[in-house]
Amino acid sequence: MGTIAILTNSINGLYSFRRELVEELLKKNSKIIISAPVDTKTNYFKGIGCNMVETNISRRGTNPISDFKLLINYIRIINKTKPDVVLTYTIKPNVYGGIACRLTRTPQIANITGLGTAVENKGLLQKITLILYKIGL
């Protein structure tokens, strides 16, 4: 099936909610690259044959410099690994991974499992979040 990069903000979340998907993709001879912060389940994914790329993400942070660094990091990961498709879920991987995919002309599959508190609470953060979603997707 080719090479699939998975961008996530939590290895533990990937283990809890997407483990079966990763296992099935590996059974179909896909090469899986996971970009995420190191966590307690990192060794599980290494053990089943995934390639891990440690990526620092401030999950709830709103610092534009940190987010820009994340975007640049995603572009580097995509350019280096040359995946056939990038699978993203959670807001920052969806947005910044989506922008990186657009800039590198790499297909993206974005999963939105909920919009989160940034969209629930009215205000400037909500407006910025919605604009970023429009750009990233």
| Cα→Cα distances 9→15, 32, 79, 97, Å | 12, 16, 20, 11
Between CA 8 and CA 10 the distance in angstroms is: 6
**Per-residue pLDDT tens over the stretch 19-67:** 999 999 999 999 999 999 999 999 999 999 999 999 998 767 778 899 9
Topology of the domain comprising 3-136:
Rossmann fold (3.40.50)
Nearest to 77 by CA among 137, 35, 136: 35
Quote the pLDDT of residue 50. Answer: 97
Between CA 31 and CA 67 the distance in angstroms is: 27
Domain boundaries, the chain: 3-136
Q: Which amino acid is at 98?
A: G
pLDDT for 133 beyond 90: no
Choose the weakest-confidence range: 6-20, 49-63, 67-81. Answer: 49-63
pLDDT for 134 beyond 70: no
Other C-beta atoms lying within 10 Å of the C-beta of residue 99: 18
On whether the CB atoms of residues 32 and 4 are closer than 8 A, the answer is yes
Residue 27: left (phi > 0), alpha (psi -120 to 50), or beta?
alpha
**Per-residue pLDDT tens over the stretch 93-132:** 998 999 999 999 999 998 877 656 555 667 666 666 666 6
pLDDT for 79 beyond 80: yes
pLDDT for 74 beyond 90: yes
For the chain, give the longest Cα–Cα distance: 46
